[in-house]
């Protein structure tokens, strides 16, 4: 039983190696297999008219601001979001181009901010996982020493074994969450690209 606990901890540490050694040395805390792209490039998602003249003005338009909030929420299905864009721009009449630019500027700012928040969170968790892995490794060595002692302190062995089981479980659960959250930046990219395409199509 005790040997299995030690092996479980060792396996957890082996899994950490992929988290702690980043593929790109520029981002040592980035835990995902997907390449880290700090910000979405405007040119990659927008081929419409320049947005220089709108900047943060979308925040001053109550309708645009409210729509941006709804469109950027991941709980809003993309097909519903596209429909809302079309309805909004269809009702814009003579102000369609101006409203389209405001809407996309808002989406670009908001979704980029969401990406940054998610990515910063992933790197924070990555650092915590590295610290947790170090503690698990140290406690695994302590447990091995206790198990191999001539006069075993069974109470200490049991206490440390239970602590290792708990810490390993938390570690593994966090790894699962990290793998899931690593998909979020790509999902945000796809949402911005899709909505930008609809906005541009409605402007034509």
Task: Report d(CA 107, CA 2) in Å as an integer.
Answer: 54
Residue 121 CA from chain centroid, whole number: 7
3 state SS for 154-202: HHHHHHHHHHHHHHHHHHHHHHHHHHHHCCHHHHHHHHHHHHHHHHHHH
pLDDT 10s digits, 12-69: 554 554 454 556 788 899 999 989 999 888 988 999 888 988 878 999 999 999 999 9
Instruction: Work out the pLDDT band at 7, boundaries 50, 70, 90.
Output: very low
pLDDT 10s digits, 128-180: 999 999 999 988 888 888 888 778 888 888 888 888 899 999 999 999 999 99
CA gyration radius, the chain? 25
């Amino acid at each position: 039983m005790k040997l299995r606990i030690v092996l479980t901890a060792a396996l957890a540490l082996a899994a950490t190696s992929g988290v702690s050694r980043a593929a790109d040395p520029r981002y040592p805390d980035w835990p995902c297999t997907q390449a880290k792209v700090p910000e979405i490039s405007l040119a990659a998602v927008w081929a419409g008219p320049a947005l220089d003249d709108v900047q943060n003005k979308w925040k001053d338009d109550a309708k645009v601001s409210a729509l941006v909030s709804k469109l950027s929420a991941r709980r809003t299905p993309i097909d519903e979001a596209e429909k809302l864009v079309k309805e909004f721009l269809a009702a814009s009449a003579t102000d369609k181009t101006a409203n389209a630019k405001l809407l996309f500027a808002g989406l670009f700012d908001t979704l980029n901010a969401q990406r940054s928040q998610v990515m910063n969170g992933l790197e924070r968790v990555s650092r915590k996982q590295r610290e947790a892995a170090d503690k698990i490794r140290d406690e695994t060595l302590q447990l091995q020493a206790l198990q191999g002692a001539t006069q075993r302190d069974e109470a200490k062995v049991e206490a440390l074994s239970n602590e290792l089981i708990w810490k390993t479980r938390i570690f593994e659960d966090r790894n699962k969450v990290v793998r899931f959250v690593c998909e979020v930046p790509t999902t945000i990219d796809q949402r911005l690209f899709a909505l930008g395409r609809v906005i541009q199509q409605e402007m034509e």
